[in-house]
Amino acid sequence: MLFNGYEFNLSLEELTDIVENKTREIELIGPEDETYQALSEGDKQALEHLIKAASIINNVALEQDHPLNRSFKTAFEKKENKTPLEEKAYALFLSFNGVAGLNGIDPEPIEIFKGVHTSKGKNFYPANMSVDEFHNLLISMLEKGKIDEVKKILSNRTMVRLRGGYLQAIDYTDYFAYEFSKIANELELAAYYTTDHELKDYLSWQAQAFLQNNEDMDMLADKHWALMQNNPIEFTVSRENYEDELTGTVFENEKLKKLLELHQIEVNPKDTLGCRVGLNNKAGTELILKSKDTLPYLAKLMPFADRYEQKIEKNAKQTMVDVDLMALKGDYAMCRGGITTAQNLPNDDKLAVKTGGGRRNVYHRQVRFSHDSEREKKLLNLLVDPQLHPYFKSQMRHYFVIGHENGHSLGPDSSFKNALGIYAHTIEEHKANTVSIAFLGKIAETFGTYTPTELKEIYTTWVISLFLRSKPVISKPHRVADLIEFNYLLKHNVISFDGENKLHIDFGKIPTVMYRLLEETIEIQLSKSASKAKEFIDKWSDWSEISEYIANTQKQLGLKPYIRLITKF
Ligand SMILES: [Zn+2]
């Protein structure tokens, strides 16, 4: 039996197991939320339009991700009286927010339909174009003097197609002209209704950015967005480039790399759009804001701080909010082996940051609160020395995450980081983790933020979060980073496992060992060498017996690698 012209790749039994046994739910807030109820009528109306905009942005992201996503979405929505197989397949489609995805456990993507595969270049690039073909086309275009066209092809805001034997870049504002004009309309309406002047201002700029083929408009929108600190409504259009695994490969071709350098062509992977709508949680935001004072202090403590410029020293333009989520769409809703708990935007490749604009850090409360405490207890019993059990507190992970997000604002700038090509994200995520842990002790000492017991709780909870559920693949930078740190701690006797495979931690060693790791990591970013980055990652991401033992133990406890977002608006 065919669905939208394709056969299902998974049986009813497999799909039922995924949807009923292996999916965890994250419940977003609904209209009963007290903060929502207290909003003015104007702000409630504004939110209606922002949520509509989010749905359209979701369609854009679906198109960017896979050429068949939207036709399958429509087929699922239109099909009345779905069979059980179709129901379950639809649930998995919604979880991936697409036709396929990694689940964080299996090394290959899970594909819902037979013959419908994902590719490195997603739908940003022509289907079936090989990496070599891509490189050769770019070389031939550069040799023929098509410099400006190659610049556009390697920019983060174009879709690329094959036309007349050459690659052609189409700006998002042209490719998505229909969707972008509808999004802009919704944003203008929201701007009209909201009673928050800063939000009104930002939304007007953001609407313009959707309408004009002009990176400066994105920059202006981003700059207004990044300043919002005390605004009741949270609205974000995210542009992140983790999904595109093709653009970064240009650095692996020596000839192409030299030509790109010669013509000073900047290389940025493609942005997938995401959209977040929610409400600022005042108490949560106050707690996070306390960490802001540490940034200038940490910037001075960073290794080799004299060899790069940290934006944080010039301007402490960093806003931070803790948000109750109403909707996550587009990139945010592509739950493929995980979901974002917090995010610090704009990223370094964006004009707003390059021209001195601030950044905004948003923490996702409902994602953070979703955990399985029964399972955590079992895991402790199987893998952790009983003396450490009292120090494991899942809520303490939040403090590690705060340090991680702040860590992205510290260290060498994007010109260094991006030069690492396909390894850039892994090194950057790993750096952020390392910054977070390396400086906790200093922060506690200098700012009195944490008691000695709280420090142990943060350390313990973090170390246990490094227990992986499977050998990570390079396209999951956060997990590879976890493995690097796990191995480094093990090698330097900060952590050890006894005869019963139970974890022990030598707390005293953590600050010095993690600082040394941070030095090694910053050196790699400063080297601008993709091969050094690869060497470092290979060296420290060895999958050892103890990692295999931990992963197997995790699997015995049952894994829920899939996520269902329960959205009430
Ligand atoms: Zn990060």
- Say how many Å lie between the CA of residue 138 and the centre of ligand 1: 31
SS3 123: coil
508 CA → ligand 1 middle, Å: 26
Compute, in angstroms, the gap from residue 465 CA to the centroid of ligand 1. 15
User: Measuring CA to CA, how many Å separate 556 from each of 18, 106, 382, 559?
Assistant: 16, 15, 11, 8
Give the closest residue to 342 by CA, choosing from 300, 291, 401, 397.
401
Cα 510 to ligand 1 centroid, rounded to whole Å: 21
Residue 303 C-alpha to ligand 1 middle, in angstroms? Answer: 19
**Encoded tokens for 458:** 């943060």
Say what the pLDDT of residue 312 is.
Answer: 66
pLDDT tens-digit readout, 182-193: 999 999 999 999
Question: Is-contact 252 216, C-beta < 8 A?
Answer: no
Distance 132 CA to ligand 1 centre (A): 30
Report the run of H or E that residue 134 belongs to, with start and end: helix 131-143
CA 349 to centroid of ligand 1, rounded, Å: 15
Report d(CA 62, CA 71) in Å as an integer: 10
- Is 505:460 a contact under the CB 8 Å cutoff? yes
The full 3-state SS of 458-480, as one line of letters, equals: HHHHHHHHCCCCCCCCCCCHHHH
Tell how far the Cα of 543 is from the centroid of ligand 1, in angstroms: 22
Structure tokens at 278: 């929610």
Q: How far apart are CA 210 and CA 221, in angstroms?
A: 10
For CA atoms 345, 350, 352, 353, give the dihedral sign.
Answer: positive
R_g of the chain, CA atoms, integer Å: 23
pLDDT at residue number 316 = 61
Phi-psi map region of 384: left, alpha, beta (phi>0 left; psi -120 to 50 alpha): beta
- Cis before 346? omega within 30: yes
CA of 401 to the centre of ligand 1 (A): 9
Contact of 8 with 88, CB cutoff 8 Å: no
CA–centroid distance, 222 to ligand 1, in Å, is 19
Residue with tokens 């695994």: 245
Distance 431 CA to ligand 1 centre (A): 9
Report how far ligand 1's centroid is from the alpha carbon of 28 (Å): 22
The CA–CA distances, whole Å, from 229 to 49, 281, 342 equal 21, 11, 16
| 53's tokens | 């905009």
Bridge partners of residue 101, in order along the sequence? 110
Question: If you measure from the C-alpha of residue 268 to the centroid of ligand 1, how many angstroms do you get, rounded to a whole number?
Answer: 18
CA of 396 to the centre of ligand 1 (A): 17
429 Cα to the center of ligand 1, angstroms: 5
What span, in angstroms and rounded, lies between the C-alpha atoms of 119 and 98? Answer: 13
Residue 48 zone, left/alpha/beta (φ > 0; ψ -120 to 50; rest): alpha
**428 C-alpha to center of ligand 1: Å?**
7
The pLDDT score that the predictor gives to residue 314 is: 47
pLDDT at 414: 80
Nearest to 558 by CA among 359, 431, 376, 324: 376
Residue 290, pLDDT score? 87
CA of 128 to the centre of ligand 1 (A): 31
CA of 260 to the centre of ligand 1 (A): 28
Compute the C-alpha angle 102/106/109, nearest 5°.
35
**Residues of the chain below pLDDT 50:** 313-315
Token representation of residue 502: 């139970």
Between CA 444 and CA 152 the distance in angstroms is 47
Strand partners, 504: 496
Q: Is the pTM of this model over 0.85?
A: yes
Q: Give the strand pairing for 23-27 and 100-101.
A: unpaired
Residues 320-361: tens digit of each pLDDT: 999 999 999 999 999 998 999 999 999 988 999 989 898 999
Helix, strand and coil percent figures for the chain, each rounded to 5: 55, 15, 30
Using the structure block, give the residue that is written with the tokens 């079936």: 128
Distance from the alpha carbon of residue 398 to the mean position of ligand 1, in angstroms: 13
CA 119/CA 168 separation, integer angstroms:
19
Q: How far is the CA of 461 from the centre of ligand 1 (A)?
A: 18
Other Cβ atoms less than 10 A from the Cβ of 354: the count is 15
Q: Could you tell me whether strands 318-330 and 342-345 are parallel, antiparallel, or unpaired per DSSP bridges?
A: unpaired
Ligand 1 centre to CA of 37 (Å) is 33
3-state secondary structure of 481: helix
